[in-house]
């Protein structure tokens, strides 16, 4: 693999490129689905190939091959060069790369029970145990869907400057969703856990199939007694999963420097400006200690640095590629990523999260006289200006500093920049989540990411629902 990559890069240089790079990949993605105790689907996809990006005069080009022989890799290099040559004639500016120190490094993933070493029947058993536990919880559980997914393999990168790195990505996830029914009332709930772990993580009590299955069933049955969520502006306590989605979808995308360079991000030109309260810090990094998806290098061979995008409420950085770093006269951050070898890199997040604070969750709750406790997200949307609308998976009404009853259809909306100004308590229970069940979409590419944070209390959030 690496020998073919090197020869492809060398061939691109002989054609007239002033810079060339190659990404090689050999990864496996496998998913299992079990419905009501019956295995419904087992699927597997292998990505094997090499992508080559070249720079020539003012332009750049990209091509790839999934046939790993010298003839096809040379052809990919030639195609990339032709594209670069044509684009150079139409480009108004030269896409220069920020200079970096070449890196030569190989990272190996070490876990106790790597999914490649665990037989398929054991993975099926995890799902079957989830189904069994959820179904047995209550007669009101009408349907249970359990899923397991894994992603692993090897990623290689090298360029004409002397960088040569590789690492072994790893992501596993176990999920369960339950549908509960009582008369004409039908509700659902879920629990999921994933990240760059070995399967030994599901021996821990908090993450066993039985724990996940019981949680999903308990929360679904609980929602059968839930009251409609009130509409209006309320103080709120927001859990780490929903906080993470806000960090990623609403703020993280605005901090991606490609949007900053062309001036479409609301954060353009605002480095050094106070955007949130003193206790708000937002981080993006490749190797968080608290969980998530571990990424050692981006797809430009840059080591994944810890980036403080927002520090104590002040905007301090953007997420950069080598191209945007040169344009903005800043440093690359290791955020140039591609979906796989068949795509060229674009600026993407890695693990984006709110940094922990000093409050205890119980203390933050005690200070909340009346409001809503919103947990996880069942979907939603955010736009380029920071406006968001997210529906929580679960919610609770808080009154006299106590959780009183569950709520249905909890949806919160607003603008992330206003939200950041209303954060008045950040707790110390930081968690970062990731899973192989989906990814972040941008420009027709999907990438695995992580997000999270601690519990956060806000003075005021606009909720939809039933007028109170």
Q: How much is the pLDDT for 164? A: 98
| Mean pLDDT, residues 156-168 | 98
Q: How much is the pLDDT for 422? A: 96
C-alpha 352/C-alpha 218 separation (Å) is: 30
List the beta strands (DSSP E) in 66-211.
104-106, 141-159, 164-167, 170-182, 185-195
Using CB atoms within 10 A of its CB, is residue 234 exposed (0-12), middle (13-18) or buried (19+)? buried
Q: Which residues contact 10 (CB under 8 A, 6 or more apart)?
A: 160
Q: How much is the pLDDT for 242? A: 96
| Mean pLDDT, residues 167-191 | 96
Q: How much is the pLDDT for 379? A: 79
Q: pLDDT by residue (tens digit) across 141-151?
A: 999 999 999 99
Q: How much is the pLDDT for 92? A: 63
Judge contact between 163 and 301, C-beta under 8 A: yes
Q: How much is the pLDDT for 465? A: 53
Residue 16: name the closest of 50, 64, 61, 54 by CA.
54
User: How many other CB atoms are there within 10 angstroms of residue 244's CB atom?
Assistant: 29
Q: Which residues contact 374 (CB under 8 A, 6 or more apart)?
A: 236, 237, 238, 239, 242, 392, 394, 395, 410, 412
The region that residue 386 occupies, defined by phi over 0 for left and psi between -120 and 50 for alpha, beta otherwise, is left
| Mean pLDDT, residues 303-310 | 96
Q: How much is the pLDDT for 94? A: 75
Q: Is pLDDT at 96 greater than 90 in this prediction?
A: no
C-alpha 447/C-alpha 236 separation (Å) is: 31
Helix (H) or strand (E) run with residue 434 in it: strand 431-434
Residue 96: name the closest of 88, 106, 86, 107 by CA.
88
| Mean pLDDT, residues 120-135 | 98
- Tell me the sheet residues that pair with 392: none
Q: How many helices (H) and strands (E) does the chain have?
A: 9, 29
C-alpha 438/C-alpha 443 separation (Å) is: 16
Q: How much is the pLDDT for 466? A: 47
- Tell me the sheet residues that pair with 433: 451
Judge contact between 172 and 77, C-beta under 8 A: no
C-alpha 20/C-alpha 3 separation (Å) is: 15
Instruction: Write b or e for each residue in 264-293: b if 16 or more Cβ atoms lie within 10 A of its Cβ, otherwise e.
Output: ebbbbebeeeebbbebbbbbbbbbbebbbb
| Mean pLDDT, residues 248-272 | 95
**Which pTM was predicted?**
0.94
Residue 144: name the closest of 179, 172, 106 by CA.
179
Q: How much is the pLDDT for 89? A: 85
SS3 assignment, position 36: coil
- Interhelix angle 2-15/70-90, rounded to 10 degrees, is 40
Judge contact between 67 and 380, C-beta under 8 A: no
Judge contact between 283 and 307, C-beta under 8 A: yes
Q: pLDDT by residue (tens digit) across 12-28?
A: 999 999 999 999 999 99
Q: pLDDT by residue (tens digit) across 308-337?
A: 999 999 999 999 999 999 999 999 999 999
Mean pLDDT of the chain: 95
Residue 419: name the closest of 276, 235, 255, 279 by CA.
276
Where are the CATH 3.30.2290.10 domain residues in the chain? 2-223
Q: Is pLDDT at 269 greater than 50 in this prediction?
A: yes
CATH code for 2-223? 3.30.2290.10
Judge contact between 93 and 24, C-beta under 8 A: no
pLDDT classification of 380: cutoffs 50, 70, 90? confident
| Mean pLDDT, residues 397-417 | 93
Q: Is pLDDT at 130 greater than 60 in this prediction?
A: yes
């Amino acid at each position: 693999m690496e020998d073919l990559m090197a020869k492809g890069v060398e061939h691109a240089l002989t054609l007239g490129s002033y810079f060339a790079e190659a990404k090689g990949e050999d990864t496996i993605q496998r998913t299992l689905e079990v419905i009501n105790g019956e295995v419904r689907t087992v699927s597997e996809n292998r990505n094997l190939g090499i992508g080559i990006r070249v720079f020539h005069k003012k332009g750049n080009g990209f091509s790839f091959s999934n046939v790993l022989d010298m003839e096809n890799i040379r052809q990919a290099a030639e195609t990339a060069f032709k594209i670069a040559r044509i684009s150079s004639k139409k480009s108004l500016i030269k896409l220069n790369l920020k200079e970096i120190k070449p890196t030569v490094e190989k990272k190996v993933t070490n876990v106790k029970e790597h999914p490649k070493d665990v037989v398929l029947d054991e993975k099926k058993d995890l799902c079957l145990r989830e189904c069994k536990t959820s179904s047995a919880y209550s007669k009101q559980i009408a349907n249970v869907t359990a899923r397991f997914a894994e992603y692993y393999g090897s990623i290689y990168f090298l360029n004409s400057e002397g960088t040569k790195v590789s690492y072994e990505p790893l992501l596993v996830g176990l999920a369960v969703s339950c549908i509960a029914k009582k008369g004409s009332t039908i509700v659902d709930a879920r629990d999921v856990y994933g990240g760059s772990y070995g399967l030994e993580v599901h021996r821990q009590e908090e993450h066993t199939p039985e724990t996940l299955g019981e949680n999903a069933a308990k929360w679904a049955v609980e929602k059968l007694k839930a009251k409609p969520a009130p509409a209006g502006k309320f103080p709120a306590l927001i859990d780490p999963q929903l906080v993470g989605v806000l960090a990623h979808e609403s703020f993280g995308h605005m901090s991606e420097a490609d949007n900053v360079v062309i001036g479409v991000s609301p954060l353009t030109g605002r480095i050094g400006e106070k955007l949130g309260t003193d206790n708000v810090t937002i981080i993006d990094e490749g190797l968080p200690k608290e969980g998530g998806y571990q990424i050692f290098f981006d797809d430009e061979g840059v080591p994944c640095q810890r980036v403080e995008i927002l520090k104590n409420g002040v905007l301090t950085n953007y997420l950069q590629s080598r191209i945007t770093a040169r344009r903005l006269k800043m440093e690359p951050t290791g955020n140039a990523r591609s979906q796989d070898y068949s795509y060229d890199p674009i600026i993407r997040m890695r693990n984006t999260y709110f940094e922990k604070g000093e409050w205890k969750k119980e203390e933050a709750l005690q200070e909340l006289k009346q409001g809503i406790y919103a947990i996880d997200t069942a979907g939603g949307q955010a736009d380029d200006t920071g406006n968001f609308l997210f529906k929580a998976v679960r919610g609770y009404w808080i009154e006299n500093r106590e959780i009183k009853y569950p709520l249905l259809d909890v949806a919160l909306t607003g603008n992330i920049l206003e939200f950041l100004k209303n954060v008045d308590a950040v707790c110390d229970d930081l968690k970062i989540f990731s899973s192989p069940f989906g990814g972040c979409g941008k420009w027709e590419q999907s990438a695995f990411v992580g997000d999270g944070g601690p519990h956060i209390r806000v003075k005021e959030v606009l909720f939809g629902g039933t007028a109170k």
